[in-house]
Amino acid sequence: MKYIKQFTIILLITLSAELMRYLIPFKIPATIYGLVLLVVLLKTHILKLDQIKDVSTFLLNIMPVLYIPALVGLMNAWPNLKSIWIPFVIINLLTTLIVMVVSGHTTQLLMRTKVKHHV
């Protein structure tokens, strides 16, 4: 029952993010609204980490499986991508590298900031 409750909380946050995407007139994906909403709920302690921790850990552990539909979609789109596969691969590698570098630096900055505040 605990897992159903935790998963329901995550689904409600996802639903709220989808509603925000339709109601707010900016072209921002619902996933961004969902992440911001989740951070705000956790930081304001409206939502405690323990209330979603087990299901969140499970979802992170199975994340590679969640990429299978996207990969199947790429396989279906291969006839369209065949002529531009080299730029497609280069762009994907570069953007992945940029996201990794920016995420790493942001995490290090946040960790340093957190250490400074605790000392």
pLDDT in tens, 36-59: 999 999 999 999 999 999 999 999
pLDDT at 13: 97
Rounded Cα gap, residues 42 and 52, in angstroms: 10
Under 8 Å between Cβ of 7 and 52: no
Rounded Cα gap, residues 30 and 36, in angstroms: 10
Share of the chain above pLDDT 90, in %: 72
The model carries a pTM of 0.65
Write out the two tokens for 104.
Answer: 């790493």
pLDDT in tens, 11-24: 999 999 999 999 99
In terms of Cβ atoms closer than 10 Å to its own Cβ (0-12, 13-18, 19+), residue 33 is buried
